[in-house]
Structure 1
């Protein structure tokens, strides 16, 4: 079969021209897609900055359709869905990213972290926990551990919370000693509720070891000793609490007085409570002192003195209780102290509050000075609402 070289010479330029034309068409299409994609992306950003989230979502969807391989567009779209509360759509976007084999590991980890946030916001805590655990050993490991800690606290899984907090401490993130002590205290209270005293003792021991100076383990240990009738041990623990946490002692001051009475240490305890009251007067300490010194005249004098120096409703209520139970009449000094306390407590409630912005004022305004809204003040004071 003879081959005509003229046809070959004629065909080569034609083939070259067709190839060049095809490449130009592909290049133009690629350039058009690349131009349309960022245009839609920037349009979405502009809408987002203008608080037009619905239109921004449409723009991002358009951008993703133009350039389905760009992960940043998917992240922007997924995060916007989450902010809008459309968690199912956010999950679909981020699951798509996680499943992409062509995605670099760093981007896949980022998508896994975003997916975990989607589940957390949606209230799917089991799936959120799995998603966060999958981030172990990644750049998001610390953030995932902190999120897991919050998750365990919300679900009251205290043992898991202890493990995560200890892991965070070992990684040098921060000190979680106080948190760990609280977790062990929660476990101790749960054990007490189940009548498992030995387990509760063990949990409290762990709490004291985790944070020796924390107030709650000492308070709880003293309360447990008081409840089982070991008043000497309770007094010793609460004396330790008083030395380390003076303000926290108010929580157990009445029990302290009861234990002191049971142990025959009334005089020493009264002196200690009176000294503490002089430094930092509170109604809790006043009630504890009354337990050790119950004489009606002395109680009345203490309450009146407290009411004059600390005009609170609690002190006023106590004075009225004594007046009712003991049948005495208020003198002018006591009546004035009572009016002062009630007036001080009532003053914050004698205001008008704007329904639009919450701005409070003593006088009624037709136009709110805070947000400039008209007729936004209800014509009743706070105490009347």
Structure 2
């Protein structure tokens, strides 16, 4: 069978025309899709700037569907889900990114970090820990270690927290000696609760060596010595603390008065408190002075006037209420009602307040229950701030 060359000559132009038409159609379709994807993206961005998060999420989902290979859209969508508290959806977005084989190393690390934050915000601490561990050696290493430190503090895993804090310090992220001392004190407190005072003593001595200027280790050590009946040693510990951390005197003033009395060193305790009060007047130091002076019948009457003397240089409603409580009023029958009103008014003034978040509490905390910050509570009451 002879092949007709004319058919080939006729088919070549037809094939060329069909190919040209197909390419034009593909280019036109590609242009349309490329125009639609940025339009949806910028629409979502506009909604986000106007704080319309629901509409922004819808727009980003639309953009992702039209351009599923764009990682930036996935990051934007995942972050939005996390901000709204929709952690499950945020996890799905970031896990989808991690499952892609064409993802660059930079975007993979970024996705891993975002996934860890999803788990952390959702309170899934074990999964967050596993995700953060995978960021060792990446540019997110320092951030991941700080997040791990937060996890271990929340779960009260003090040995692991200590290990992470040391890594951060070795990496030049600042000094963590104060926190390391707190971790040792926390472990010592657990040992005291389980009746292991000898082991607790070793940890407290280690805490003092770690952070010599920190007040907590010596305060806890003095309390442990007092509990063991070692009043002389406890008083010596408090004397050292008054020298190394005088700012903590309001916290230890009541203990100085008690331990000084038990050790038969009331005069030394009073002199120590008087020196502190002269340097920096404080309600707690004042009350400790009054308690020591009141123990001596010859000075009991004069002791109560210390509150009035305090009012000469500090406008203190608490001190005024303390003085009135021990006085005889002209209309003594109304004294209980007046005293109750004063006590009610002064109660908020005797609290401690976190300098970081403003959380107030009846007792002093080394770590704020509200914001988890360490050493954020001043040693002074609200009225004195």
TM-score (norm 1): 0.81
The corresponding residue for 1:125 is 125
1:318 matched to 2:335: no
Is residue 2:285 matched to residue 1:299? Answer: no
Alpha-carbon deviations, 1:283-306, whole Å to 9, x = none?
A: 322232234322321212222222
Is the CA contact (8 Å cut-off) linking 1:40 and 1:62 kept in structure 2?
A: yes
Map of 1:220 onto structure 2? 220
Q: Name the residue aligned to 2:377.
A: none
Question: 1: distance between equivalents of 2:23 and 2:191?
Answer: 76
2:359 alignment partner in structure 1: none
Partner of 1:380: none
Residue 107 of structure 1: how far off its partner (Å): 0.3
Shift of residue 44 of structure 1? Answer: 0.7
For 2:124 and 2:315, the matched residues in 1 are separated by: 49
TM superposition shift of 1:10: 2.1
Quote how far apart the aligned CAs of 1:311 are: 3.6
> Which residue matches 1:106?
106
2:27 aligned partner: 27
Runs of at least 5 residues in structure 2 that lack an aligned partner in the other structure: 350-385
TM-score normalised according to structure 2 size: 0.81
Query: C-alpha root-mean-square deviation of aligned residues, in Å?
Result: 2.5
Describe the SS at the equivalent of 1:309: coil
Name which of structure 1's ranges 292-301 and 45-54 shifts more when overlaid on structure 2.
292-301
Given that 1:258 and 1:291 are in contact with CA atoms closer than 8 Å, whether structure 2 keeps it comes out as no
- Aligned counterpart, 1:194: 194
Query: In the superposition, relative to structure 1, how do residues 13 and 199 fare at CA in structure 2: closer, same or farther (>3 Å)?
Result: farther
CA distance in 1, matches of 2:52, 2:8: 62
Q: C-alpha distance in 1, partners of 2:66/2:258?
A: 77
* Superposition misfits of 4+ residues, deviation over 6 angstroms: none
Quick one: structure 1 residues 136 and 9, their matched pair in 2 at CA, closer, same or farther if it must change by over 3 Å?
same
- Taking structure 1 as reference, are residues 7 and 174 closer, same or farther at Cα in structure 2, changes over 3 Å only? same
Contact 2:290 2:304 in 1 (8 A): no
Paired residue for 1:372? Answer: none
Q: In 2, are the aligned partners of 1:94 and 1:115 still within 8 Å (CA)?
A: yes
**1:192-215 deviations in Å (ceiling 9; x for gaps):** 111122331232233223212111
Aligned residues of 1:219 and 1:252 also touching (Cα < 8 A): yes
Contact 1:226 1:255 in 2 (8 A): no
Q: Name the residue aligned to 1:72.
A: 72
What is the correspondence of 1:78-227 to structure 2 with a 5 Å cutoff?
A: 78-227=78-227
Shift of 1:30: 1.4
Relative to structure 1, is the Cα distance of residues 251 and 31 closer, same or farther in structure 2, using a 3 angstrom cutoff?
Answer: same
Contact 1:37 1:67 in 2 (8 A): yes
SS of the counterpart of 2:20? helix
| Mapped partners of 1:140, 1:60: distance in 2 | 26
